Structure 1
Amino acid sequence: MSTKQGETELSRLLADLAPRLLAEKYVFYSLPHGSYGDGAELAPVASFQEEEGLTLVVPERCAKEAHIAYSSVFCCITLTVHSSLTGVGLTAAVSTKLARRGISVNVVAAMYHDHLFVPADQAGRALAALAAVSGPQASRRI
């Protein structure tokens, strides 16, 4: 079964960025020596199996309900442009734009969109910076 290929041209990706801030807040949590299947009650939106354990990105409310300690809270900004997993430069352009404003970002690339996890207290600034990049002259504003 094939799926529609996403955009690969950086100038078009930036022009159509259309960042959208999600309402939920998230935390990163590691299940030491955990594996897939563990932590299902936490409703993870992303996960990565590392040698040290299973990293989960879970809604903050689920972490609180499960009495899980965490150190940072993030908001997720979804870039609604349908980006290709083989596209070159989008992650670099976006992370550079945010880094210049002192905003850290954890990028998760999924099949259709890129998702940016930024510190919750900087989400508004991050969204504004990304919105300023989007549009027809986007590649010139990076």
Structure 2
Amino acid sequence: MNKNRGETDLRRLLAELQPALRPETYTFCSLPTLPDAWSELEPFAVIRETEGWTLIIPEARATAAGIGYNTCFRCITLTVHSSLIGVGLTAAVSGALAERGISVNVVAAFYHDHLFVPADQAEQAREVLLSLSSPTSR
């Protein structure tokens, strides 16, 4: 593995997933413009789309700012350093979660993949990911 670029071998990625469930509850919010004080919302991610701005922010920040949202998520970070050009990791984890009826929104960053799953299914999702990385599942 190139430490600067991350792991590309799917078998190694799955073996080293080490899913870490974050304690915060997040929500996805859509805003037509980015507010001047957007950093005060402590966003996990900010994404520009044609329709406006998507912010992934802590639920408490959305509530305090009066920003509407529909669903709450928990974030599971795959602590393995995955490559942005790796093939199959997103398909493997989303497929395993889909088999259990768990939706997932994947945010790939430079070092890690972050999986946003419905808050009430977060522990179950983490268990699915742990089983995916066990030697008997590969």
TM-score relative to the length of structure 1 = 0.90
* Unmatched segments (≥5 aa) in structure 1: none
CA distance in structure 2 between the aligned counterparts of 1:114 and 1:136, rounded to whole angstroms: 21
More off after superposition, 50-59 vs 35-44? 35-44
Q: Is the 8 A contact 1:16 1:135 kept in 2?
A: no
- Match of residue 29 from structure 1: 29
Distance 1:39 1:61 in 2: 14
Alpha-carbon RMSD across the aligned residues, in angstroms, is 1.5
SS at match of 1:12: helix
Deviations 1:32-84 (A, max 9, x none): 1x148562221111111001100000001111111222110000000000000
SS in structure 2 at match of 1:26: strand
Q: 1:129 is matched with which residue? A: 128
Q: Percent sequence identity over matched residues?
A: 60
Q: CA deviation at 1:126?
A: 0.2
Displacement after TM superposition at 1:4 (Å): 1.0
Q: Is the 8 A contact 1:15 1:137 kept in 2?
A: no
CA distance in 1, matches of 2:36, 2:89: 32
The code of the aligned residue for 1:28 comes to: F
Q: Verify the 8 A CA contact 1:85 1:111 in the aligned structure 2.
A: yes
Measured in 1, the distance between the counterparts of 2:74 and 2:5 equals 27
Which residue is equivalent to 2:117?
118
- Unaligned 5+ segments in structure 2 are none
